[in-house]
Structure 1
Amino acid sequence: MTIMRYDEAVDHALGQAMAADPSVVTWGEDVEILRRVLQSRFGPERVRDTPISEQGFMYAGIGAAMAGLRPVVELYMIDFGMVGWSAIANAGSKFKDFSGGRWNIPMVLRAGVGGWYADGGQHEQTFWGSLSSYPSTEVVVPSTPADAAGLMLSAVQSDEFTVFLTPKLLDQQILDYLGGDQRSTLDLTPVQPKAGAIGEVPDVVTPIPFGKAATRRTGSDITLVSVGIGVHRCLEAADALAADGIEATVLDLRTLAPLDTEAIVEHVGRTGRVVVADEDYSRGGLTGEIAALLLESGTTARYARVAVEQTIPFAPHLEYAALPNAERIAAAAKSLA
């Protein structure tokens, strides 16, 4: 085991995959800077910089995947993918089905997601609710360095179109690169979970299967369900709830497509109460999907959700209030208890 930052763990797994399989390549916006360690190891033919033309290099990745490569295509943040969203919604997610299964799309779209670092409503979205709705698309959101490594290796080895989303608050390299002088005075220490930003990672990474949630804490009174940064906010809320005699289970979904429906039903059925904490928008997203799942499974439970209800503000104190913080999660849990 080696102690690594979250971003180092992802690149560690990607480097292992590139060493084992010459068809694995990566390109995207400023990867010469962000992935300079990989470029020095594998060369500019396999780690390539691209122009800032999201639609162009995303479609190039899909074409390369159809031609036999396993590209990892990188966006700074998923918000920028809106420029070329057709590549996701109309190509990567559907060409396998359009071809009757003759063409797989073994491509990974890697992108930063989420807020907490004062970048505003055009740069702090997650969109994983929308992404999870597309067919033949896997959506991955790791919350720890070890999971980030194991899930990235699974993503590269998958024959499906996979969207690998890294919470920017955990990815120190992205924060440093995007921060600049304009955020040099912003103290992220109070909001950045140390257990997610740095941790032990196996020296030889093994794949973590998709669709298998992880139980981060066990309690008998209520289940808190989330992904990414939300998992850490749920753990903070669980500590506060325990001080009031309420014991919470915290379920880390890890992947949203496929979704570990069995784990959700099992834990919520046991506690009879559930709060879904989601950094995506409340309308048409993960929170509603889980509510529907519980209804369709016949699970009897009291339900609440804590999600993004508005455009995320720039001002840090307003941004914090708009995102699913620990205080909002704990308050929702208490309303059910």
Structure 2
Amino acid sequence: MTRVAILGGTGYTALELLKILARHSSAKVTAITSRTETSPIREIHPSLAGRFDLSLENLSPQQLKERADVVFCCLPHVASMEAVPGLLEVGLKVIDLSADYRLKDPEVYAKWYGHAHTDAGRLSSAVYGLPELYRDRIRGTNLIANPGCYTSTSILALAPLIQQGLVEPTGIIIDAKSGVSGAGRTPKQNILFAECNESFGAYSVGNHRHQPEIEQILSESSGRNVDVIFTPHLTPMDRGIEATIYAVPKAKATQQELLEVCRAFYQNSPFVRVVDRIPTTKDSAYTNFFDMTIRIVKDRVVILACLDNLIKGASGVAIQNFNLMYGYAETDGLL
């Protein structure tokens, strides 16, 4: 049994982690932290009543070490890089759900996140936590940079075709949409009900923080210089990601041939479903599945992909990473 601590227990990703860990065969949650709250977790997340008899605490790394083996870090960007070094130094393993350890270049991080990286020496050793691409590296690490929801959708959709040299690695357009929970639980004007209900629109056009992450991982995993235009949209639904991606084919191929390439690429990935139908966000909602299909439209390859932003796009893939770190079945606890 592996002892688990959640660092930053008040948000949506912590809630989803706790729901999954409650049914995990080999994990026991022993601590949940907060810098400001001391309430029982059932008062912060009422759906956890009867599942966990724990209260939020403000614990030091040494106190966490006495009670846990691994920490899921659910802190915001910047706050995470301040906490992670102390956790690693006392011998804890860390799965970080922020973006603080995803980008390898500290200058790129500073440009896109507006803050100098204070733990830049660890960026090169942190393993990007996308099991479908980095399963073997994840097994041997003590620091995982959990991917984001938009990035997981985009990378998983494009990786097979880019790695096989079937589409051009440049000129890719990613048109993506997210449910409101992707903005987090902290109140903001743009996610108030009266602001986002019955409304749909793009945001962060040309400067969304996930663009360099998508380009970095696709370039690294394929050995090609990948360049994308990424445009996110906020949709008036609770959860889910849908991405419609346009790429230029490098050679003539049928829709079925491209689908078979993707099925072969993901044949050992239990949570990827390459389907013939066009997927919708409801198909993967509340699950750890990623669904994708392909269409040929005129002179373009069109990839359509969906996942649940809080599970496969955050907490679910974090549990996949946990399972791989500790040698458990990759599917343990996951739907």
Tell me the TM-score normalized by structure 1. Answer: 0.33
Tell me the TM-score normalized by structure 2. Answer: 0.33
Q: Greater share of helix residues, 1 or 2?
A: 1
